Amino acid sequence: GTNGMFTPSEKKKVIVLGGDGFCGWPTALYLSEIGHDVIIVDNLSRRAIDLELECDSLTPIQSMGERLKVWKQVSGKEIPFHFFDVAKSYELLRELIAREKPDAVVHFAEQRAAPYSMKGPYQKKYTIDNNVNGTHNLLCAIVESGLDVHVVHLGTMGVYGYGTSGGEIPEGYIDVTLPGGRESNILHPMSPGSVYHMTKCLDQLLFQFYQRNDELRITDLHQGIVWGTNTPWTKKDERLINRFDYDSDYGTVLNRFLMQAAMGYPLTVYGTGGQTRAFIHIEDTAKCIGLAIENPPKSGDRVEIFNQIAETHRVRDLAKIIADLTGCEVKSVNNPRKEAAENELEVSNKKFRSLGYEPISLGTGLLEEVTQVADKYKDRCDVDKIMPSSFWNKKIEEQCTDDV
Amino acid sequence: GTNGMFTPSEKKKVIVLGGDGFCGWPTALYLSEIGHDVIIVDNLSRRAIDLELECDSLTPIQSMGERLKVWKQVSGKEIPFHFFDVAKSYELLRELIAREKPDAVVHFAEQRAAPYSMKGPYQKKYTIDNNVNGTHNLLCAIVESGLDVHVVHLGTMGVYGYGTSGGEIPEGYIDVTLPGGRESNILHPMSPGSVYHMTKCLDQLLFQFYQRNDELRITDLHQGIVWGTNTPWTKKDERLINRFDYDSDYGTVLNRFLMQAAMGYPLTVYGTGGQTRAFIHIEDTAKCIGLAIENPPKSGDRVEIFNQIAETHRVRDLAKIIADLTGCEVKSVNNPRKEAAENELEVSNKKFRSLGYEPISLGTGLLEEVTQVADKYKDRCDVDKIMPSSFWNKKIEEQCTDDV
Ligand SMILES: NC(=O)c1ccc[n+]([C@@H]2O[C@H](COP(=O)([O-])OP(=O)(O)OC[C@H]3O[C@@H](n4cnc5c(N)ncnc54)[C@H](O)[C@@H]3O)[C@@H](O)[C@H]2O)c1
Ligand SMILES: NC(=O)c1ccc[n+]([C@@H]2O[C@H](COP(=O)([O-])OP(=O)(O)OC[C@H]3O[C@@H](n4cnc5c(N)ncnc54)[C@H](O)[C@@H]3O)[C@@H](O)[C@H]2O)c1
């Protein structure tokens, strides 16, 4: 079967900013596979952060040159790659857009780990500077080009906050009654839980403004936590393998659990594990972006917001699923984050479903596949990196380190 | 009389970021006058922007060295001055805070002109980068210092947007009823009308986050448009004179009208002049900041937001007041901004009033004084600089330039 893939109504030229990353690489391959002309931009900062954190992708990812050479071999398609910093090299971004006249730009190029963004002043400052200037440069360059380019941005469910949602979270906008009984539809109130999540809130305001002032066409995807590693496209050759982060800064919760299971360590749940989060499989990330590109807002339409999620789970329930699958234990540790110990979360994903999206859910089959990946490369794992090393504030740091 | 001045309950050490500017300089003198220990930080970027725009303060402002020497002569008080960029020299800011252990930091150090922020890509990018990184550096440095420093920030009424408010705008937060009848109190929805105003919205999110995560004590002053030039403290010696901007980028509307009147030119109203805006006199800016420093939020309290305004007026009514006073004409020109042609605006300023603030209003006495300032220095005026030179987008630029 096609796994829910579709043939685009027209071939588009798509620039993928951050196309070397965990989501960007499989998405670039998917867009190329379904027939779009893809161009990748990346400054390889994610690989550089691995040097700083003294860890590495569990999977042996290849250099961009090697990746693209192999993709050419297996698919016959060429993906040009440009190495530059979208937050710093405004002129290169502007020239690329003016020269290539893309139909769409998919923007993944941000520092995306909440714990990393809370590690210390350097990382807080870097995350703000990189993410806000990167997004603003993109919008500014499109305005300067005078072209009608559709921006597809990866945001996060975390902009809504992780308190108890008290009802299904709608897609971006919310109906409210203001004092005096006036009805209004406003951007969902923002409640970011880290500097990283905050930058996605700042991005939202940039999008609102540039849509209103310059009529840019923008789709903002409020994505859940991504799990998994490979997709049908990265599996075509082992040298196309996607990155798999398991460290406490970049490893998302499910991937961390799978790694602990593979190493025979207890799964470490923060606090009660009562946090409810939204999840999506990496293959669905790519497919949703394909759908977003296929269905741009019309010129003049407000910023289109999709909740890009498949399902929600409590962290302790996820741990239980993996523990049952692998026979390992679950252990609670002090929470390095400042967040509600327990929260409910209900999320609408009607818009993608109405476009034909049928989410992959956390079924045993796929989980087993990821377990095999973790197992296959486990000699590359430094298990010490799984325990928290970034703390939301000094008090929390003391509590967490007293514990040890 | 004391003009509403008060003696602080305790002497505080106050760092004034942006203390060379239009609001910062008279505020620094006021805080020094009422007994606080004041330290100024400024990178003189505002003076450098005058070089870029090829214009200058109408009033002959002195160098910082001269200003501070004269203040020492007339008041006996010393104000140390540090030249650095708060958005770029994080370490200098952090060291200054750690060494001086201030009770409060008043943060004026942002690019503050809406038209300048829309001039072109360089200015858009500079405004985002300078304002967001400056504010974030301050918050990050305070967290790193571990000190309990009260932040007083100058925000703008423009964060609420300049549509019709449909009721009195409360101070920062608004009661709403969410779907399902749930009552909630949220940050007032933001609707910035320029890149400059947007940075003040981004600042708001930074404040909300750092208050929640690190319990910083923060007061955000949503200030109206400031008019006037001198205060009782800058009048103590002509060499203490405050800056007076009349150009279309930095000159606020009332000061631009007063300049046109002094030059015998018609007052240029954008469109119908039906825009309603909030105003405050420069002397009240200083006094309100004194009150904010005197009344910090308690540790753990949410971000305190005051609307720092005296009164609201339609732009065409202001023009009429000045025309009546000076006998000059009023002329409509195409609006360089993208904004509602007409809007209503009602604003609460209860909090400052409850602390004893009695606003100076646009009475003829004070207006005459400013008219005299404009008149006295009118040979320093380049009248060409009063006409719009920044346009919100390309379409508007064409409309405005076709007109000429
Ligand atoms: N992974 C998740 O669970 C998840 C969940 C929700 C949203 N997202 C969002 O999706 C996007 C991609 O996430 P990811 O998991 O692939 O992260 P990643 O770190 O693996 O990929 C980001 C890529 O962008 C590049 N990059 C960063 N800053 C850049 C800059 N200034 N110039 C050029 N390139 C730059 C990095 O080198 C990296 O290759 C992010 O914006 C993230 O916030 C991810
Ligand atoms: N003037 C108004 O009508 C008005 C109205 C509402 C709010 N405000 C706010 O009040 C504050 C002060 O406004 P103003 O009218 O005095 O502006 P201004 O431009 O005259 O003063 C700002 C000062 O900050 C300095 N500065 C800017 N960036 C800096 C940096 N990175 N490092 C160090 N110094 C820096 C400038 O050199 C300047 O001296 C601004 O934040 C502005 O947004 C002003």
ipTM attached to this prediction:
0.96
* Residue B182 backbone class (left: φ over 0; alpha: ψ -120 to 50; beta: rest): beta
Q: Give the C-alpha separation, A325 to A367, whole Å.
A: 9
* Ligand 1 site, residue A23, Cβ cutoff 6 A: yes
DSSP state letter for B298: P
Distance B17 CA to ligand 2 centre (A): 9
DSSP state of A17: E
Query: Band of the pLDDT at A81, cuts 50, 70, 90?
Result: very high
Q: Is A198 in the pocket of ligand 1 (CB under 6 A)?
A: no
Q: Is the pLDDT of residue B325 over 70?
A: yes
Ligand 2: which of B108, B136, B253 to mutate, most ligand atoms within 8 Å of CB? B108
Provide CB contacts within 8 A for A267, sequence distance 6+. A257, A260, A261, A319, A322, A323, A328, A329, A330, A331
Strands A276-281 and A311-314: antiparallel
Q: What is the pLDDT of residues B353-386, one digit of tens each?
A: 999 999 998 887 788 888 899 999 999 999 999 9
Residue with tokens 């299904």: A168
- CA A273 from chain centre, in angstroms, equals 22
Band of residue A3 on the pLDDT scale cut at 50, 70, 90: low
Cβ of residue B127 lying under 6 Å from some atom of ligand 2: no
Give the pLDDT confidence of B109-152 residue by residue, as tens digits. 999 999 999 999 999 999 999 999 999 999 999 999 999 999 99
pLDDT score recorded for residue B34: 96
DSSP state for residue A179 in the 8-state scheme? G
Distance (Å, whole) CA A366 – CA A280: 12
Query: How many A from CA of A151 to the centre of ligand 1?
Result: 15
Cα dist. A334→A382, A391, A396, A401 in Å? 21, 11, 9, 9
Residue pair B193/B162 in contact by the 8 Å Cβ criterion? yes
DSSP string, B176-223: EE-GGG-EEEEEPPP--SSHHHHHHHHHHHHHHHHHHHH--EEEEEEE
Shortest Cα–Cα distance, B201 to chain A (Å): 8
Interface test with B, best of A119, A205, A303 (most B CBs within 10 A): A205
Q: What is the pLDDT of residue B370?
A: 84
Neighbours of B190 (CB within 10 A): 23
pLDDT in tens, A10-64: 999 999 999 999 999 999 999 999 999 999 999 999 999 999 999 999 999 999 9
Contacts of B140 in chain A (CB under 8 A): 121, 124-125
CA gyration radius for chain A?
A: 20
A53-70 per-position pLDDT tens digit: 999 999 999 999 999 999
Helix or strand (DSSP H, E) at B352: helix B350-354
Mean pLDDT score of chain A, rounded to an integer? Answer: 95
Closest-lying ligand to the alpha carbon of A253? 1
pLDDT tens for each residue of B38-87: 999 999 999 999 999 999 999 999 999 999 999 999 999 999 999 999 99
Q: Name which of A171, A177, A197, A200 to mutate to probe chain B: the one with the most chain B Cβ atoms within 10 A of its Cβ.
A: A177
**Cα distances (Å, whole numbers) of residue B243 to A399, B56, B99, B141, B252:** 51, 9, 31, 30, 12
Q: Which domains does chain A have, with CATH numbers?
A: 13-246+281-311+353-361 (3.40.50.720)
Chain A: give the shortest CA distance to residue B86, in Å.
13
The residue whose CA is least distant from atom 18 of ligand 1 is A21
> What pLDDT shows up at residue B403?
56
User: Which-ligand-closest: CA of A43?
Assistant: 1
Show residues of chain A in contact with B133, CB under 8 Å. 125, 128-129
Pairing of strands B276-281, B183-187: unpaired
In whole angstroms, give the CA distance from residue A294 to residue B93: 48
pLDDT tens, B251-310?
Answer: 999 999 999 999 999 999 999 999 999 999 999 999 999 999 999 999 999 999 999 999
Q: Is the CB of B313 under 6 A from ligand 2?
A: no
* More confident of the two residues B7 and A220: A220
Residue A276: Cβ within 10 Å count: 20
Q: What is the CA radius of gyration of chain B?
A: 20
Token readout for A354 is 């109405």
| pLDDT tier at A403, thresholds 50, 70, 90 | low
Distance from CA of B333 to the nearest CA of A (A): 20
Percentage of chain A with pLDDT > 70?
A: 99
Q: Is 70 exceeded by the pLDDT of residue B3? A: no
Find where tokens 């693209």 sit: A68
Question: B140 and A129 in contact by Cβ < 8 A?
Answer: no
Interface A-B: count of C-beta contacts within 8 A: 106
Query: Mean pLDDT over residues B303-331, rounded?
Result: 95
Which atom number of ligand 1 is nearest to the Cα of residue A155?
7
Lowest average pLDDT, out of A164-168, A172-176, A378-382, goes to A164-168
For residue B24 and ligand 2, the question of a CB distance below 6 A is answered with yes
CA A21 / ligand 1 centre spacing (Å):
6
Residue B320 annotated as catalytic:
no
Contacts of B139 (CB under 8 A, 6+ apart): B151, B206, B207, B210, B214, B216
| Minimum CA–CA partner of A184 in chain B | B176
Q: Please give the distance, rounded to the nearest whole angstrom, from the Cα atom of residue B209 to the centre of ligand 1.
A: 22
Taking an 8 Å cut-off on Cβ atoms, the answer to whether B205 and A209 are in contact is no
B13 is catalytic: no
Mutational test site, ligand 2, from B90, B107, B111, B112, max ligand atoms within 8 Å of CB: B112
**How many angstroms separate the CA atoms of B389 and B369, rounded?**
28
How long is chain B?
A: 404
List of chain B residues whose C-beta atoms are within 8 Å of the C-beta of residue A144: 121
Strand-strand pairing, A173-177 and A183-187: antiparallel
Burial of A216 per CB tally in 10 Å (0-12, 13-18, 19+):
buried
Q: Is residue A210 flagged as an active site residue?
A: no
The answer to whether residue A196 scores a pLDDT higher than 90 is yes
What the block records as the tokens of B260 is 């046109």
Q: Which of B12, B119, B200, B287 is catalytic?
A: B200
In the predicted model, is pLDDT for residue B393 greater than 60?
Answer: yes
- Percent of chain A clearing pLDDT 90 (strictly above): 90
Interface test with A, best of B88, B132, B164 (most A CBs within 10 A): B132
For residue A341, the one-letter residue type is A
CB A178 to CB B179 under 8 A? no
Identify all chain A residues contacting B141, using CB atoms and an 8 Å cutoff.
121
Tell me the C-alpha distance between B227 and B244, whole Å: 9
Closest ligand 1 atom, residue A107 Cα: 41
pLDDT confidence tier of residue B35, bands split at 50, 70 and 90: very high
Contact A86, A135 (CB under 8 A): no
Q: Is the pLDDT of residue B6 over 90?
A: no
Nearest to B121 among A140, A182, A392 (CB): A140
A67's enclosing H/E stretch is helix A64-75
What the block records as the tokens of B350 is 């209860």
Q: Which of B140, B175, B201 sits opposite A121 (nearest CB)?
A: B140
The neighbouring-strand residues paired with A106 are A16, A152
pLDDT(A85) > 60: yes
Residue A246's closest CA among A120, A338, A115, A125? A115
Q: What is the mean pLDDT of residues A153-157?
A: 97
Q: pLDDT category, B166, cuts 50, 70, 90?
A: confident
CA A192 to chain B, closest CA, distance in angstroms equals 7
Q: Phi then psi for B54, rounded to 5 degrees?
A: 55, 45
User: Which chain B residues contact residue A212 at CB under 8 A?
Assistant: 338
Report which residue type is found at A228: G
Tell me the per-residue pLDDT of A232-285, one tens digit each, with 9 for 90 and over. 999 999 999 999 999 999 999 999 999 999 999 999 999 999 999 999 999 999
Rounded-to-integer distance, Cα A252 and Cα A262, Å: 16
Q: Are B268 and B387 in contact (CB under 8 A)?
A: yes
B397 DSSP β-pair partners: none
pLDDT of residue A1: 37
Q: Residue B1 has what pLDDT? A: 37
Minimum mean pLDDT among A133-137, B201-205, B363-367: which range? B363-367
Mean pLDDT of B316-328: 93
**Alpha-carbon distance A138 to nearest alpha carbon in chain B (angstroms):** 11
Measured from the alpha carbon of residue A18, the closest ligand is 1
Residue closest via CA to ligand 1's atom 42 equals A112
Ligand nearest to the CA of B153: 2
Residues 6 or more apart whose Cβ sits within 8 Å of residue B122: none
Mean pLDDT lowest among A312-321, B32-41, B177-186, B349-358: B177-186
| Helix B315-326, helix B253-263: angle, nearest 10 | 30
Nearest CA in chain A to B144: A121
| Ligand 1, pocket-test mutation among A29, A46, A133, most atoms within 8 A of CB | A46
Any idea which residue has 């440009």 for tokens? A82
Protein residue with least CA distance to atom 39, ligand 1: A21
